Structure 1
Amino acid sequence: MLNALTLVTGITALLLAAWCGWAAYRHQPTKDWHFIGMAVVSLLAVIQLVVGIVRLAQGDKPEQGTAIFLAYLLGAFACVPTAGFMSLAERTRWGSVTAAAGGVVLAVLEVRLFDIWGG
């Protein structure tokens, strides 16, 4: 995997979590700007998904197994969009908490992907 892409995705996910957490602290729901931030983080996760699949297709193998790597890769891809849709259903401060939690979960998944690949 690309270590730089994993690092950038993890950092942007934490920034998104902090931003949405700040909105929750101020008792605000997720707003359009938050969803734009989620789209940026999701785009990075899509790029990571494509890069991971291409690396596997080229014959590179993760140290801890291909199946677990693909499972974590798909989970990282789906994490923030799922949290975003859930925050749409809850248009209170708890929607912001849900989006913040999605960012934290994605950052943790990025660390785990790094470990699975062999970083």
Structure 2
Amino acid sequence: MILWFTLVQVSVAAIAGVLCIVLGLAGRRPSDLSVGALALVELLLIAQIAMALIAPAVGNPPTGSLLEFWVYLVSAALLPPAAVFWALLERSRWSTVILGIAALAVAIMVWRMHAIWTVQVA
């Protein structure tokens, strides 16, 4: 993984998470803003999948468990669509909070993926 891209992903996911939680606690239902924030998080995760496929071929192999990394990556990529599906199904203020929690979970998972890719010592 590339550090600057990891930092961008974590920052965007954290900002999206805080935004959605604040909007939800303020009583706002899911809107283009909250769903769009999660869409941006998902777009960055799709880019990360492409980079993870290419990185080992160009000399940036993971130092940790490749299986653990991919489980984290696939799980993180499934969270935003699942949260948006729930938010559009329920359409309450709490579903906006769920969008925020999903985005914060993605931020934590991306940071863990970076640790798996770069910091493992065996």
* TM-score computed with the length of structure 2 as normaliser: 0.89
Residue 57 of structure 1, CA deviation: 4.2
Q: Secondary structure at the match of 1:63?
A: coil
List per-residue Cα deviations over 1:64-115 (Å, max 9, x = no partner): 2111111111112222122111111121111111101111100110110111
Q: Which runs of 5 or more residues in structure 2 are unaligned?
A: none
- Counterparts of 2:24 and 2:3 in 1: how far apart (Å)? 31
- Counterparts of 2:113 and 2:27 in 1: how far apart (Å)? 33
Question: Taking every aligned residue pair, what percent have the same amino acid on both sides?
Answer: 27
Q: Secondary structure at the match of 2:62?
A: coil
Report the equivalent of 1:97: 97
Report the equivalent of 2:39: 39
Residue 53 of structure 1, CA deviation: 1.3
- Counterparts of 2:3 and 2:86 in 1: how far apart (Å)? 30
Report the equivalent of 1:51: 51
Moved runs in structure 1, 4+ residues, more than 2 A? 56-61
Residue 27 of structure 1, CA deviation: 1.3
Q: Which runs of 5 or more residues in structure 1 are unaligned?
A: none
Aligned length: 119
- Counterparts of 1:71 and 1:57 in 2: how far apart (Å)? 20
Q: What is the identity, as a one-letter code, of the residue corresponding to 1:8?
A: V
Structural RMSD (CA): 1.4
